[in-house]
């Protein structure tokens, strides 16, 4: 390389992470940090990764897929989504096939958003979650305050690029990229981090912003507890006689089998969440993990949520509770796919859905605790971020994790 990239700058893209090798260490030795700083412009004085001495506090940036807030935004949303090979791999012709699929699917998806109120509520919920989390962090971790909330969506406003530009204008010097996908996948969190890396090279070559990443939290006690509470509240709507016979169907967004067979950690981490929730519930009910939102003819991870419900009804099992286990707020996959396409069309009063996490104060407490623990650790990422998928063939990933 012609020039040395500052340690604080995001560096090198990869399908599974977007940060330099140093981000994969829990803490860098002082000697290494000192040696590297000789080749860079000194950053603002920092007490540690946990805080700054410049009084600007810490930006908490919630990363998510996003969704169109209005029907008119649907086509642009789908165009960005199908252009992302990390999320939906379409091969070498993706830049040609993606726009065709987006254009073909736009009318159908516009109709679905019209039915659920004219747009996705995910932005409203995400901005509320970010704001309330930062307010709580100011109280429980004042050493890194003030905490300023940002939301960065991958495919809809506020786009990651727009958020990055705003952070630069705001003078942010310390930021935490906080994924709102509790379970890590190269297709979701990985894609968001890749975009963050690309933008850092474009907008922050001088390394103004020092980043760290909360890249997964599938079994966090607070997260598990609030999901379990929502299940318990839903079970109370059944008769006492039926309650323990209700089958719990944990539904998560599926992945293409090409991604699963590469060794993506997402299926295992979703399963870990499900098991932790069932432990919290003392395994009182029978349960299954199922997968939704498949797109296109290629094989996806199953069993499919819709097929599972249909088959259980045929078998006479009509007391089913669907639980969104990989989503942190309501959006089209809960409000239309689960509520309307599956539950309403089943015409079975015993098939219901547990409430999404949305603005539940206990969920906000969980988010704040996750962020607090991360800030206290002074680490850059989890240990898992350093490990490539065993069948990964990405040259960028190989370069990054060499």
> Any idea which residues carry the catalytic annotation?
369
Q: What are phi and psi of 212, to 5 degrees?
A: -140, 170
Burial 310-321 (b: 16+ CB within 10 A, else e): eebbeeebbbbb
Distance between CA atoms of residues 319 and 313, nearest Å: 9
Distance between CA atoms of residues 3 and 212, nearest Å: 23
Q: What are phi and psi of 306, to 5 degrees?
A: -60, -45
In the DSSP assignment, the letter for residue 347 is T
Residues 6+ apart with CB under 8 A from 79: 98, 99, 102
Helix then strand then coil, in percent of the chain rounded to 5, is 45, 15, 40
Q: What are phi and psi of 292, to 5 degrees?
A: -125, 175
Distance between CA atoms of residues 109 and 95, nearest Å: 21
């Amino acid at each position: 390389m012609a020039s040395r990239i500052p340690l604080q700058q995001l560096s090198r893209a990869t399908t599974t992470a977007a940060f330099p090798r140093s981000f994969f260490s829990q803490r860098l030795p002082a000697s290494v940090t000192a040696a590297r700083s000789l080749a860079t412009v000194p950053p603002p004085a920092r007490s540690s990764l946990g805080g700054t001495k410049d009084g600007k506090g810490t930006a908490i940036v919630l990363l998510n897929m996003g969704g169109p807030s209005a029907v008119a935004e649907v086509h642009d949303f789908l165009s960005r989504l199908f252009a992302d090979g990390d999320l939906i791999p379409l091969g070498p012709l993706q830049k040609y096939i993606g726009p065709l699929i987006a254009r073909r699917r736009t009318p159908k998806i516009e109709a679905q958003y019209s039915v659920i109120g004219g747009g996705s509520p995910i932005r409203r919920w995400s901005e509320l979650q970010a704001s309330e989390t930062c307010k709580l962090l100011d109280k429980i971790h004042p050493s890194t305050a003030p905490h300023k909330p940002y939301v960065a969506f991958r495919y809809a406003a506020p786009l990651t690029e727009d958020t990055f530009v705003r952070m630069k204008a705001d003078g942010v010097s310390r930021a935490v990229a906080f994924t709102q996908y509790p379970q890590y996948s190269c297709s979701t969190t990985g894609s968001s981090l890749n975009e963050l890396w690309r933008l850092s090279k474009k907008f922050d070559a001088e390394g103004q912003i020092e980043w760290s990443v909360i890249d997964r939290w599938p079994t966090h006690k607070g997260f598990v507890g609030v999901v379990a509470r929502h299940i318990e509240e839903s079970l109370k709507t059944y008769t006492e006689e039926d309650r323990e016979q209700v089958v719990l169907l944990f539904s998560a967004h599926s992945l293409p089998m090409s991604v699963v067979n590469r060794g993506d950690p997402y299926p295992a981490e979703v399963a870990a969440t499900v098991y932790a929730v069932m432990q919290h519930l003392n395994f009182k009910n029978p349960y299954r993990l199922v997968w939704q939102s498949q797109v296109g003819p290629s094989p996806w991870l199953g069993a499919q949520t819709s097929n599972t419900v249909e088959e259980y009804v045929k078998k006479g099992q009509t007391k089913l509770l669907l639980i969104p286990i990989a989503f942190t707020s309501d959006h089209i996959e809960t409000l239309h796919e689960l509520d309307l396409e599956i539950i309403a069309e089943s015409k079975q009063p015993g098939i219901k859905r547990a409430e999404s996490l949305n603005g539940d104060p206990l969920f906000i407490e969980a988010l704040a605790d996750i962020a607090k623990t991360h800030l206290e650790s002074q680490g850059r990422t989890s240990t898992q971020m350093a490990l490539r998928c065993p069948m990964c063939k990405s040259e960028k990933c190989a370069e990054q994790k060499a």
